[in-house]
Structure 1
Amino acid sequence: MVEIDADVIALRRHFGVPADDARFRVLHADGVRWLGETQTRSDVLLIDAFGAEGVAHTLLDTDFHANAFRHLGGHGVLAMNLAGARESFAPHVARLLEIFDERVIAIPVREDGNHILFAFRDPAFTPRWNWMRSQAHALQARTGLDFPNLARALEAGERQGHAWRLAR
């Protein structure tokens, strides 16, 4: 996890951020700069970058989206929280649709008006909805979390072209 705000790091327990270990650690740094400089690869990138007006404009003022694509491994997935006015996040959605060659699915978060965007690096990515549903039920049985609802939301978001609508 890369966090620019030392206060957020200090309150990591409050935000549910786990303790550092061999597989996870928190870096106090500018995520935009770090992503542009790092040579490491990740399977998943979780982006939750906000300023006073919504999604941070600095992401658009840099090569952040292209760097995120480069940073992901071959089957990597970017998940991004979108909040605020549509005008603040529509350019980010449009840029990700371009960089990820339209392999982007968005779903609404009905409870708070946010949207979650998933972008897939793999050029051969094609959602396998039947498989995903069966995996979602198995995960729910193991964890108690509502993965079947997430699978339904992803399928609906893809079929309805929600990402394209958000980009306009």
Structure 2
Amino acid sequence: MISESQGVRYLHFNSEWIQGAMRVNRPEKLEFEYTQQMMAWLLFLAPPVDRGVGILGLGAGSLTRFCQHHFDSDVVTVEWNPQVTAICESAFELRQTASCRVVHEDAQDWVLDPVNENSYGALMVDLYDYTAQGPVCSSDQFYRGCRRVCADLGVVTINLFGHHGSFRKNMRNILRAFDDRVILFPETIDGNRIVIAFTGPPLQVTREQLQQRARRVQSLYRLPATGWLRTLLQENGKTGELISF
């Protein structure tokens, strides 16, 4: 089902839950706080040019449109349901190209496929069905597959529901899969809690370098990156001038 209000088009899957949104006159804009926070990997990694950007879960195509608009990277979105892709193409400005495409596959199969190992610099995981009752992929094996997709050097962002019963199980499996190299945003007003997980060599960066990067991200992409950085450092107890992830 599609609805529209005050210039924003919404996608629903036979329930009151909103699966995604698009501002009609600015299709590349990220409407929801949690979708903006899914891009927080930009604080730590420039859009990769030698590897791709991966998105697990198409929804209304918000993350896909944003990446296609702003990056030169190859963008691959994994969506198991071709009907969702068809809706996004007809009503949500999804335009597939050679460098921005949707593959119809189960997300767990995709992350475990050896062909995708170490092929991506950034991976965004937003896997909810129409009931929005916790992620549809949440196993230790799945999250280890996410790590392998970005093996040498990368950042993975994951959308969880902080108040849902699945949160602790997912966090336990994420922490195990990424060797505890994980930081979190506080819960959004809508209940989303975004996890950021790191792969590759240990990352050490000065506070000033992070602040410079946040200002650049904010300027380039019109995202609240300086506020993200303050929140993340405070929420995760990252103090001092040299910060480790």
- Specify every segment of 5 or more residues in structure 1 that has no aligned partner in the other structure, as ranges: 161-168
C-alpha contact 1:106 1:158 (8 A) present in aligned 2? yes
Residues 39 and 71, structure 1, Cα contact 8 Å, conserved in 2: no
Q: 2:106 aligns with which of 30, 41, 62?
A: 30
* Contact 1:55/1:89 (8 A) holds in 2: no
Deviation at 1:127, TM superposition (A): 5.2
Cα offset, 1:75, TM superposition: 1.5
1:59 aligns with 2:131: no
Per the alignment, do residues 123 and 5 of structure 1 end up closer, same or farther by CA in structure 2, a change over 3 Å counting? same
1:2-21 matches, cutoff 5 A:
2-12=78-88, 18-21=94-97
For 1:73 and 1:16, the matched residues in 2 are separated by 32
Match of 1:158 in 2: 236
The within-5 A match list for 1:1-168 is: 1-12=77-88, 18-40=94-116, 41-51=119-129, 52=131, 53-56=133-136, 58-60=137-139, 63-83=141-161, 85-126=163-204, 128-159=206-237
More helix as a share of residues: 1
Tell me the SS of whatever aligns to 2:115.
coil
Q: What secondary structure, in the 3-state scheme, does the structure 1 residue paired with 2:171 have?
A: helix
Q: How far 1:111 sits from its partner (Å)?
A: 2.8
Q: How many residues align?
A: 158
Aligned-residue offset at 1:150: 1.5
Residue 171 of structure 2 aligns with an amino acid whose one-letter code is V
| 1:5/1:128 CA distance change after superposition, 3 Å | farther
Tell me the residue number matched to 1:164. Answer: none
Alpha-carbon distance in 1 for matches of 2:162, 2:91: 20
In structure 1, how many angstroms separate the alpha carbons of the residues matched to 2:196 and 2:121? 13
- The alignment's TM-score, normalised by the length of structure 1, stands at 0.80
Counterpart residue identity of residue 181, structure 2: R
Equivalent residue letter for 1:59? S
1:91-120: CA deviation from partner (whole Å, max 9, x where unpaired): 111111112111101102423121000100
Offset from partner CA, 1:24-80 (integer Å, 9 cap, x none): 211111111121124222111110112432122x432x7211111111142211100
Stretches of structure 2 that go unaligned for 5 or more consecutive residues are: 1-76, 239-245
Counterparts in 2 of 1:94 and 1:3: CA distance versus 1, 3 Å:
same
Cα distance in 1 for residues equivalent to 2:216 and 2:92: 25
CA RMSD of aligned residues (A): 2.4
Change (3 A) 1:128 1:6: farther
